[in-house]
Amino acid sequence: MIISVASGKGGTGKTTIATSLALLLSEERSQKIQFLDCDVEEPNAYIFLKPQIKKTQPVNILVPQVDKRKCNFCGECAKVCVYNAIVVLKREVLVFPELCHGCGGCSLLCPEDAITEAERKMGVIEEGQVRRIQIRTGPIRFIQGRLNIGEPMATPLIRAIKKKINPDGVTIIDVPPGTSCPVIEAVHRSDFCILVTEPTPFGLNDLKLAVEVMRKLRIDCGVVINRANIGDDRVKEYCHRESIQIMAEIPYDRNVAVLYSSGIPMLIEGEKYRKIFSQLWASIERRVG
């Protein structure tokens, strides 16, 4: 089962909810739990889960290199590249590696066989194990991606992380914030998506966008309202109007904020949160079946 945890905007508490859910599930030793941090521009789930990283693997994409001795400047490569990563001038071919998606189309269609491909490192995947954080919690397989600083394309790295999913057990994916391509890649093939929001006008606006994306992708979703005791009722009213289940409401709690600032998941705070996450998981299981 693959469960994504997403939010239309950053700062809603998505990662604390994803990590707490993973820890709760790890208590049931019958389940194999994997945690994928696909928020590759700023992965921070490791702060809460404290994994031992055992393996680091570079992720490369293939970008074109043009042999000007063979090139006749016909422009076919530029025509096929929808990303404008290759431009042909009168006596020059310019390649913009940062825009290249590594699809290989240009080298395939070059009539003069003038294009070869070279690897460009865009980031790394780190893999390890979360050991017991608390008496009750169990092991979690942990995988995270780190995009190189300044690298504009997160999607190939997220795709590479997702290839590592073991279909046995439960996979929790921490999705990048927003509603752009990296989000779509991260939630793709999820059985369910938890949309984390907060009861503010910004939270509502970004929730609406996220719901639209999930509906387009036909991914079943429900809402968790974080800091539910501040703000207004407009998120709830929207969910009722749109028949979206509010799966959990987590109140603002100063103790949780203090724990958060020390890198401690909210689940550790006590039975109150354990109950909220147990009920959240029970709702997901009912929905996913």
Residues in the site for ligand SF4, rule: CB under 6 A?
64, 66, 71-77, 80-81, 83, 85-86, 88, 93, 100-106, 110-112, 114-115
Structure tokens at 231: 């703000």
Give the ranges where 110-189 is alpha helix by DSSP (H): 155-162, 181-187
Q: In Å, how far are 12, 42, 48, 165, 172 from 223, measured between CA atoms?
A: 12, 23, 22, 24, 16
End-to-end Cα spacing for the chain: 10
Contact 147, 123 (CB under 8 A): yes
Q: Which amino acid is at 211?
A: V
Rg of the Cα trace of the chain?
22
Give min distance, CB of 94 to ligand SF4, in A.
10
Minimum distance of ligand SF4 from residue 5's CB (angstroms): 31
Is 38 or 61 the residue whose CB approaches ligand SF4 more closely? 61
Task: Give 27 or 112: the residue with its C-beta nearer to ligand SF4.
Answer: 112
Between 106 and 196, CB nearer to ligand SF4: 106
What's the rounded Cα separation, in Å, for the pair 210 and 204?
Answer: 10
**Closer CB to ligand SF4, residue 110 or residue 193?**
110
Q: How far is the CB of 147 from ligand SF4 (least distance, A)?
A: 18
Interatomic CA distance for residues 45 and 175, integer angstroms:
11
Minimal distance, residue 186 CB to ligand SF4, in Å: 21
Residue 32 beta carbon to ligand SF4: minimum distance, rounded to whole angstroms: 37
Q: How many CB atoms lie within 10 A of CB 87?
A: 15
Distance CA 251, CA 230 (A): 8
* Least CB distance to ligand SF4 at residue 156 (A): 11
H/E stretch holding 237 reads: helix 234-241
Least separation, in Å, of the C-beta of 163 and ligand SF4? 20
Closer CB to ligand SF4, 93 or 250, in the complex: 93
Dihedral, CA of residue 266, residue 270, residue 272 and residue 277, to nearest 10: 50
Nearest to 225 by CA among 253, 254, 195, 205: 195
